[in-house]
Structure 1
């Protein structure tokens, strides 16, 4: 007997999975969305800590950061919560006509709001209240945030680049979710999550919910006196780091790319091959 779910069975399992998510009560979606945003925030903070300082080889630094960031999706899937990027796989239930557009958009909107609230809360708590970021880690947080919003929205090449980085990201995130669903034990779920998430972070791809932590963390961290003393002052660059640029120069285009990566390149194509064609 196989100790994992094969591809066709996995694709078919997404139909009731998405249907169940569409039926969750409003409060549950907001609370579980809040938790998922916080879980991704914990992983993002850990990645910031691990990425602070010099590494002998750039590739090894990216590998280490990606490895620890995989904790976020493990916390989302195994204890259970609602992550918007993963819920883009609800497109399978929609294509199979088990849920309506309204059902899917309700889930996506509530979970996205919950993810944002959880990410913002954790960024405020860790970056703004604990003092942990009053030093080199805070400098790293500011530099990460600035890098994510430093190009103006008018730069179409910036938007296109971030869109495709986001497509690649959620393509891998949703594959990680499929691997975790396929595994029948917790060890298999951890391994299934680890490699795709490590790969997307090490590759430099963009995740909307992670950026809901990374950018606010940089905004909160720059208040600390040691951060202000250590970071090289550049009024033009620092002015680009604000709540408006978080949306205009990053989250809007990254959210769209994540949506395409998960709902089309994973959910849509697996539905086409393993469900629609199997029914004809």
Structure 2
């Protein structure tokens, strides 16, 4: 599970199917597991030596850019990202075959990546890897980052990005998709509950 996709779960609460406490518990566990998994994958990449080159340099550039974003920009990019991601989840559930599900997910996800939007779980990985690579000359040199840009890559930069992006992801998924679709389909949901 991904935390970002689970931001659609409040639809179940609004429809009267899922207690809010269960949603919040799910979010907490899934977010923690996503963070742990991101750190683990970043560590595997780091210790494999696969990022001791221009690949690592690019990861440092990406992380530095993310950690340099002002709060409001990171928050807004988080909203835009998860609006698209949760719509992809919604569309994949509406598709009735595997090919339809793949297409429903592929294009929206490519759109958020190409647009530079902020995804909390993807950022967990990039920023964790950058924190590990920061002391690796083979990755730092090809990054071309100044000392000032490298200094942004820090635990403070990590949380300074992750907090507003996560909040934005919640707003994008809950407000722009779950609540919106609840109001569109609330009469149908009421009919389902009665039967």
Q: Does the pair score TM above 0.5? A: yes
Cα distance, 1:182–1:88 mapped onto 2, change above 3 Å? same
Cα distance, 1:270–1:239 mapped onto 2, change above 3 Å? same
What is the match of residue 29 of structure 1?
none
Cα distance, 1:277–1:149 mapped onto 2, change above 3 Å? same
What is the match of residue 168 of structure 1?
80
Residue 265 of structure 1: which of 176, 182, 190 is its match?
176
Alignment of 1:2-151 (within 5 A): 82-126=1-45, 128-151=46-69
Question: For this pair of structures, how many residues does the alignment match?
Answer: 191
Cα distance, 1:278–1:182 mapped onto 2, change above 3 Å? closer
Matched, 1:254 2:173: no
What is the match of residue 190 of structure 1?
102
TM-aligned CA deviation for residue 217 of structure 1: 1.3
**Aligned equivalents of 1:200, 1:234: Cα separation in 2:** 28
TM-aligned CA deviation for residue 159 of structure 1: 1.4
**Aligned equivalents of 1:237, 1:193: Cα separation in 2:** 34
Equivalent pair of 2:58/2:143 in contact (CA under 8 Å): no
When structure 1 is superposed on structure 2, of 97-106 and 200-209 the one drifting more is 97-106
**Aligned equivalents of 2:164, 2:8: Cα separation in 1:** 19
TM-score (norm 2): 0.92
**Aligned equivalents of 2:135, 2:156: Cα separation in 1:** 18
**Aligned equivalents of 1:182, 1:100: Cα separation in 2:** 24
User: Could you give the per-residue CA deviations for residues 137-168 of structure 1, whole angstroms, max 9, x where no partner exists?
Assistant: 111010000111124xxxxxx21111111111
**Aligned equivalents of 2:109, 2:141: Cα separation in 1:** 34
Equivalent pair of 2:64/2:150 in contact (CA under 8 Å): yes
The DSSP-based 3-state class of the residue aligned with 1:84 is coil
Higher relative contact order (CA 8 A, sep 6+): 2
**Aligned equivalents of 2:22, 2:36: Cα separation in 1:** 21
**Aligned equivalents of 1:271, 1:233: Cα separation in 2:** 46
Equivalent pair of 2:56/2:143 in contact (CA under 8 Å): no
User: Could you give the per-residue CA deviations for residues 69-127 of structure 1, whole angstroms, max 9, x where no partner exists?
Assistant: xxxxxxxxxxxxx111111111111112222221111010000000100011001111x
Equivalent pair of 1:138/1:222 in contact (CA under 8 Å): no
Matched, 1:218 2:150: no
TM-aligned CA deviation for residue 221 of structure 1: 2.2
